[in-house]
Amino acid sequence: MSRKPKKGYYVRGEFVAEGSELDLELKAELKGTHEASRTDLKRESTELQKLGEELLTLRPELMARLDLSEKLRDALAEAKRITNFEGKRRQMQFVGKLMRLIEPEALVAVRAALQEQHKGSAQGTLALHKAEQWRDRLIAQDDAFGDWVLQHPGTDTQQLRALIRQARKDALPVDKAAVSHGLAPRQGRAYREIFQLVREQLASADTTDDSAAPDAASQVETG
């Protein structure tokens, strides 16, 4: 009487009987791999949904560059219109599903566009702070005027002097009683106009520096 063959399978030429210790080890290893894969997929899905949420804030000119499907663009537009919390949550889940269909090259472009926007926002904030600091210095310190003109010789010095004088007058408290009550100095139109003048000059200087950079680089190469 022939023996009944054992049930099992082969791994790298080795027979593994079902229920054997090796069989149990291999199945445990396989299960662990599947669990890891599910974790990776969930993490990737969450990341793509977050990217979709960030796309809601992307500037139109940056959005226009991206190679996105019409369905995804419509879903993003709909998400912007929805104000209900639960409705918005469901819509963003749908956006996340559509994001998973994007080609890898398009995803790279999406991340690059978002990075460009974040970088621009940071630079804009820095420029505002710089303009505020110069405005405050010009009003508070006499020697700041000379420093400014030295760095920005194209400034209308007569206009700037007049604005500084007016801003200093406007900043004087109404009376001693106002100071005792902790009232802040008034900030009139001259205060705001100094900021605008300074901001425009700083922006003009940055533009000049950027346009001059390629010329300088070409001179170095040809030299």
pLDDT in tens, 93-143: 899 889 888 888 888 889 888 888 888 667 777 888 888 999 999 999 999
CB 130 within 8 A of CB 202: yes
Distance CA 98, CA 119 (A): 26
The arrangement of secondary structure in 124-208, i.e. its CATH architecture, is: Orthogonal Bundle (1.10)
Every domain range in the chain assigned CATH 1.10.60.30: 11-102, 124-208
- Average per-residue pLDDT in the chain? 79
Q: What CATH number was assigned to the domain covering residues 11-102?
A: 1.10.60.30
Task: Give the global pTM.
Answer: 0.43
Question: What tokens does 177 get?
Answer: 């009683």
What's the pLDDT tens digit per position in 73-107? 999 999 999 999 999 999 998 998 898 888 888 88
Closest Cα to residue 152, out of 131, 168, 169, 166? 131
